[in-house]
Amino acid sequence: MEKVKVGLIGFGNIGTGVVKTFQHNAEKINEEVGKKVELVKIADKDVTTPREVEIDSELLTEDYREILNDPSIDIVMELVGGVDPAYKMIKEALRKGKNVVTANKDLLAKHSAELIALAQEKQVALAFEASVGGGIPLIRTIRDSLAANNINYILGILNGTSNYILTKMYDEPDMSFEEILVQAQELGYAEADPTSDIEGYDAANKAAILASIAFGQKITLDDVYTEGITRITPRDITYTSELGYIIKLLAVIRKMINGVEVRVHPVLLPEDHILSSVSDVINTVMFDLDLVGNTMLHGPGAGALPTASSVLSDVIEIAKHLHNKKVPRFLTPYTFDREKEIVSMDDVVSGYYIRMQVYDRPGVLATVGSVFAKYDVSIAVVLQKESNIGGWVPLIVLTHPIKDAPMKKALEEIKQHDEILRGDPFYIRILDV
């Protein structure tokens, strides 16, 4: 039987899942490929710590170059993560004519166009199904199964940690954000440093990759407007529930007349919106397409075995077509040649939920109303909540859709009225697609 040799760099969480899959599903993998797919080398900084899988110590090395310099290895899996040194490793591998499979969203959100161009030059594959949505087959679905469609928009719950925290905030209204975050860390759903998840950067990396593939153009993390969930309080959960909404951290990727919108921020979704019911660490991506209409993919966005499933799917596809002249389209590195503007956040239109702490006295609503009127902000709902210590009360306003720029100017001006306002107004956009 013909053999395909594979090397793995990074024997961590996902690397271990990949090794387990190679061991348990070898027969299935070989059958799919029609060749014997062999994992012949594993590189990690530390090869002494026991892992969850038994592995022949002969396979292990602390020097990843042993994999890159082995001419018999056709496919390299990069599962180290982060930008450096993974960037160097992948570039070196591609330059040496090796096919590369990676799950590295941080790296791809910055350098995918350059790495794809290099792979194209070297006539090898750079595959990254696992970089977005863990075990959910997203990249290939966009590039292959949905290829005949024009994509109008993509809405994605792309970060399991923040979705878990928001779900718990609704389920356990007496728990604070911080308490739920600690619980998520204890359960292994949040990293010791949760910044990337709760500040929206992880979802933004994935949004940049999805948008690049969906719209065939270079879109990097810098193009993605990003806000996280750290300012959401139990009060916002209560008030939005009362108003019939659920808060989600959403990636919105949308084709507009004036360009492409790519943004990640909390949104208010109507309770009966299909994405409102996505709970815990699950990821969901909804497409709006000119031929299909709406379709949705839903599943585990992280975890060793789901992510290994996506990594191995890339390995299988590359192995199947190895030594063929033509690599299939989803693996063929291609140039991002469409160049639509990235729509400035100033021009994005949404309704707003605004929470302010105001002094409970006559004339407050008139002051707020006159500032909003100055910037053409039209009010849809006003709620003044129960009285608070010292006469300060929460004032909740929902607005009709308005561009970001005038809304932000209105909020800046309201901030100057410190005779009626305590603290900064807090806002969440209302989904308008």
- Applying CB under 6 A, the residues found at the interface with ligand NAP are 9-15, 43-46, 64, 79-81, 85, 103-105, 130, 134, 302-303, 307
Question: CA dihedral defined by 119, 122, 123, 128, rounded to 10 degrees?
Answer: -20
Catalytic residue among 206, 218, 248, 255: 206
CB of 320 to ligand NAP, least distance (A): 23
Reduced to 3 states (helix: H, G, I; strand: E, B; else coil), residue 73 is: strand
Q: Rank residues 156 and 394 by Cβ distance to ligand NAP and give the closer one.
A: 156
Give the amino acid at 117.
A
Q: For residue 224, give the nearest of 261, 169, 198, 262 by alpha carbon.
A: 262
Give the amino acid at 370.
S
Q: Rank residues 106 and 317 by Cβ distance to ligand NAP and give the closer one.
A: 106
Q: Contacts by 359-362 with C-beta closer than 8 Å and gap 24+?
A: 359/391, 359/392, 359/393, 359/419, 359/420, 359/421, 359/422, 360/384, 360/387, 360/388, 360/391, 360/392, 360/393, 361/391, 361/420
Q: Rank residues 38 and 191 by Cβ distance to ligand NAP and give the closer one.
A: 191
CB of 6 to ligand NAP, least distance (A): 16
Decide if 7 contacts 40 (C-beta within 8 A): yes
Decide if 36 contacts 3 (C-beta within 8 A): yes
Q: Rank residues 64 and 215 by Cβ distance to ligand NAP and give the closer one.
A: 64
CB of 62 to ligand NAP, least distance (A): 7
CB of 85 to ligand NAP, least distance (A): 5
Q: Rank residues 110 and 429 by Cβ distance to ligand NAP and give the closer one.
A: 110
Q: Rank residues 209 and 348 by Cβ distance to ligand NAP and give the closer one.
A: 209
Q: Is 206 considered catalytic here?
A: yes
CB of 368 to ligand NAP, least distance (A): 44
CB of 12 to ligand NAP, least distance (A): 2
- The size of the chain, in residues, is 433
State how beta strands 259-270 and 421-430 pair.
parallel
CA 277 to each of CA 85, 239, 271, 282: distance values in angstroms, whole numbers, following the listed order: 39, 18, 8, 10
Q: For residue 110, give the nearest of 94, 89, 86, 133 by alpha carbon.
A: 86
Residue 419, classified by CB atoms within 10 Å of its CB into exposed (0-12), middle (13-18) or buried (19+), is exposed
Q: Residue number with the shortest CB distance to ligand NAP?
A: 12
How far, in Å, CA of 242 to CA of 351, rounded? Answer: 17
| Active-site amino acid positions | 206
